[in-house]
Amino acid sequence: MNKIYDLVIIGGGPAGLSAGIYAGRAKLKTLIIEKEHTGGQINSTAEIVNYPGIIKSTGPNLTAAMRTQAENFGVKFQTADVIDVDFTVDVKVIKTNKGEIQSRAVIIATGASPRKLGFPGEIEYGGRGVAYCATCDGEFFKDLEVLVIGAGFAAAEEAMFLTRFAKKVIIIAREPDFTCAKSIGDKVKANKKIEIRFNTEVVEAVGDDLLRSVKLINNVTKETSEYFPPKEDGTFGIFVFVGYEPQTKIFKGKVEMDQYGYIITNENMQTNIKGVYAAGDLRPKLLRQVVTAVADGAIAATDAERYITAEKERLGIVEEEAEENLVESKKEEVNIDNKALAGKSNLLNDALRNQLKAILSKIENNISLVSIVDESNKKSIELRDLVLDISDLSDKVSAIIYKKGENPEMEAKINADKYPVAALLDKDNNYSGVKFHGVPGGHELNSFIIAIYNLAGPGQAIDEKLLNEIRSIDKKINIKVGVSLSCHVCPDVVMAAQRIAIENPNIETEMLDLSNFKDIKDKHRIMSVPALIINDEKVYFGGKKLEEIVQLLK
């Protein structure tokens, strides 16, 4: 008999997480389905200062705390792509790439993604100058000029953030003034590193392998102009912040939407289908902020709880409280001081070590982490310390440390041609094809731990057909994944590419923190991450799923 959840929440952003917290606290059997990673668009926000009670935080930190809250109330999480739904039956059916899921009620919280403007050159120069995430890609424009397209809150906020890297920020806005709060607009206008051109639109981005100029038009006077970067710079960046489009295509025809694809609800977040709710940025609303998203999620979950209770009473269903939905009231107290313990990596604190220890306790086979240390390289020493720290968390993870030049045989075995470097060896002491050229802090710590989990087993579930496709690749392939440690999309690409290497000995995958490898960044003209480099020739930008990468390798 298939399990029937009380509530399935599609989307793990602030709205979905808030709904999960309220549903879990109401002791509903709740599952949150995430497409890629928890957090959604807020993960690209470097600074949050307007969320009540939070003086200052980052998007990833805030949503990580929300996820922990939801898990503490027994909410389950699953990573999967929702490919279809059936809301015509009492027990709703959610069809994913990993199978079907049944639920008495559903909350749609898939959010919205950055809208493309559509000017000539926008697609062609994606990854080579045109970007949509200042947090992810801002560092690639250090000491260059950047254009920010937009007049709203996001454009104003990200323009100020980009002044940390760019020597000058030029805002291009078709409106006669900012459309965000006046206080924010005034702050931007007062910034000496920001120039503003209102009533101006982009006509075309021009260049060769990089951006070289952009053609503009004044929409009042119809006067045309062309922006060129300073001659000594050679190139520049264009960051587009012109709003978002709802991620609701798979729900078209399933629930009522407006002409723009936003899902229509009442004040209780109910759609036109009983038991189906929508929350967050995919609803028509005047203000799209974290605070409004979490409010939507809370309202939706509260109303869903009433609906689910009534449905169970109508059907005469009496259920005991699910054991898996209970959380022990007594928990081991841990020191959550962010300072590292003596002799340990500065990237880990006590609480995080305890979390990692719980994950690593599940692995099945012995593996080794190899670190070749270039003592003249600060990052190499940091990576060594992290390897030693993580190896202390499991008796199935060993650390093998050598100074550069001390063991040429091992260096050759793992192809240690760049520093810092850490590689994974399998249970038979064979090189797994997984290598890190960077200290996997921030988002990338996930990919480091998942690499261990996938190599040592049991590993993440993978479709049998896709697994056979991976194993059928019969040519030597090197994959480099260029990342920045602030990129929230990068770990998913790293994990997918590394999984391919783990399953096929013909393939090697290297994670590269591009801040350490300017030569590689410049050689491939990389101005955005993630950047997938195949055999040092072809470069592909943006998020990629496992199956997409497999197709690129064929």
Distance CA 294, CA 281 (A): 10
Distance CA 423, CA 435 (A): 4
Torsion of CA 199, 201, 206, 211, to 10 degrees: 70
Distance CA 57, CA 293 (A): 17
Distance CA 226, CA 214 (A): 6
Q: Rounded to 5 degrees, what are φ and ψ at 11?
A: 120, 130
User: Which residues form the catalytic set?
Assistant: 133, 136-137
Distance CA 418, CA 482 (A): 14
Q: Let me know the angle formed at the C-alpha of 430 by 427 and 431, rounded to the nearest 5 degrees.
A: 115
Q: Which of 443, 446, 419, 382 is nearest to 516 (CA)?
A: 419
Tell me if residue 317 falls in helix, strand or coil.
coil
- Strand pairing class (168-172; 421-425): unpaired
Residue 382 burial by Cβ neighbours in a 10 Å radius (0-12, 13-18, 19+): middle
Residue 102 burial by Cβ neighbours in a 10 Å radius (0-12, 13-18, 19+): middle
In the DSSP assignment, the letter for residue 395 is: T
Helix, strand, coil percentages for the chain (3-state, nearest 5): 30, 25, 45
Distances (CA, A) of 414 to 372, 424, 441, 505: 10, 9, 22, 13
